[in-house]
Each structure stands twice: as C-alpha cells, then as structure tokens.
Amino acid sequence: MPVLTDLLAALGAGRVEVVDLTSPLSQDTPVLQLPAPFANTISFRLEELSHYDDRGPAWYWNDIHTGEHTGTHFDAPVHWVTGREGEDVAQVAPGKLIAPAVVLDFADIADGDPDFLLGVEHVRAWESEHGPLPDGGWLLYRTGWDAHAASQDEFLNDGHSPGISVECARWLAEETSILGLGVETVGTDAGAAPGFEPPFPCHSFLLGAGKYGLTQLRNLAALPPTGVLLVATPLPIVGGSGSPARVLALVER
Ligand code: MN
C-alpha cells in the first residue's frame, strides 16, 4: 500500500495539515529559574560570526548559546536521578520520535486557577469520552499557558503554573503505556512542584519509568483530542540530558 504517496498527496491537498507546536527560540525565550543554591541554565543567545562583512564577505552565521532545556525541548530519562541508568537524548530510538498523540484540554479550568493540578480522575473522565491513552504515544496536556509565553515573569508566575498531581504522575508512569508527557509550561511539572513529595513528580516518575517529556509547546488548541501524529526532533547530543526540539503535529482536516 503506498502509504507515503497517500500521505504526501494529503499534505499537498491540505487534507493533512502540519501544525507547529514549537516556541520560537530567542534571547527572550523564558527559561526555568531554580532557587539558590541550585545551578541555572543560560538564556538562548546568538553570537554573530560574520554578516556579509570582513569576517565572512559572502556569508552570515552565528554560534548559538543554549541550554539543553531551553524553549520547546525534549527531556530524556537520564535527565533525572530516577532515570540515571536510562537513555540519554542521543540514545532515543528514531522510531520513537514519530508517534501518536492525544490532547487533554483543561484550559478552561487552568485559566482561572494557575495552580490547577491534573488528577487521575480527570484523565479517567477524558478516557471515558475519547478512549484510552495511546499505547506508545504522547499525552499532550493543554492548559492555555502558552498565552503567557511572551513574558518570562508572566510565564514563571512566581512558581504558580498548572501541572499534574503527584498521584497522577505516578499513575501515568506506572499504570499507563504512554511514551511521554507534553506540556505548555516551562517544565513538565507544576510551578509548585519543588514543594511536592516527591519534588518534581512528573520528572521523578515518568523519566524514572523511561518515558519522555516535551515542554513549552504551543498551538495545542489547533489539535483534535485524538488522531494526532506527533514528530518530535531533539538533537542527538551525545550524553545529553535533553535538547531543544522542533515539534510538529500532523492533523487530518
Ligand atoms: Mn527539561
């Protein structure tokens, strides 16, 4: 069956749309701020090498300065101590970078409550309407938080941003066969998660279970609840704990 021929025809005819879920990378891209004494990552920055000038008369190029966990990025299991024996970002099999995805939209609730936590009961209710979470696929969690991405202060919101409860993080890691969790916030955990027990439960349980994370996604509102094909493309940084990634969703129209 000429699957790829059919797919390319559908893309050309607009019957399959490519939705970019990636936040633009610039020096203004919000980055995580951990409290002292913990180390913090740098902001993204371009360092110009030449711009059609004496340093390179016919070419423009830059060095980039970035953290692994800057902007829309991929968390590999080895990012967390619970996953320290797991894969680094270069070891993730390419076949896992193209996978199904579902979108759990709780923006209506999270809009009025920046500390909203998704619970097992919310996921169960979603499943009763839309079917089970995808085996080997992404759970994309929409909160509407991408609307705050233009301002680092607003995006971090003094540690108040929506996330997932400890119980739900454990359940997703241990009782479901999802590939990973994608969110719109600066990390996969809630703003208040440093104070949870355990701290950062999504990182702790999901990465410990060999699952992945995707952060700072946008445009989830343009996706249907089910039937999404997700393409996530971290760089194969050897030994890396994560990488900025382009994340694209293929959607039937
Ligand atoms: Mn990260």
- Whether 1 has a pLDDT exceeding 80, the answer reads no
| Ligand 1 midpoint to CA 75 (Å) | 5
- Distance CA(71)–CA(219), nearest Å, equals 14
In this prediction, residues 216-244 reach a mean pLDDT of 98
242 alpha carbon – ligand 1 mean position (Å):
7
Domain ranges of the chain: 17-29+68-252
Tell me what the pLDDT averaged over the chain comes to: 97
Interval 160-188 mean pLDDT: 98
Is 19 in contact with 182 (CB distance < 8 Å)?
Answer: no
CB 144 within 8 A of CB 111: yes
Number of alpha helices (DSSP H) and beta strands (DSSP E) in the chain: 7, 12
Can you tell me the mean pLDDT for 111-115? 94
Cis ω for the linkage preceding 198 (within 30 of 0): yes
Homologous superfamily assigned to 17-29+68-252: Putative cyclase (3.50.30.50)
Which one of 69, 73, 79, 203 is the catalytic residue? 79
Residue 172: what residue type?
L
The model's pTM is 0.97
3-state secondary structure 221-249: HHCCCCCEEEEEEECCCCCCCEEEEEEEE
Contacts of 226 (CB under 8 A, 6+ apart): 102, 103, 130, 131
pLDDT at 36 over 80: yes
pLDDT at residue number 35: 87
**Helix H segments across 39-184?**
107-112, 120-130, 152-156, 166-175
70 Cα–ligand 1 center, Å: 7
The whole-number pLDDT of residue 69 equals: 98
State the average pLDDT over residues 166-191.
98
69 catalytic? Reply is no
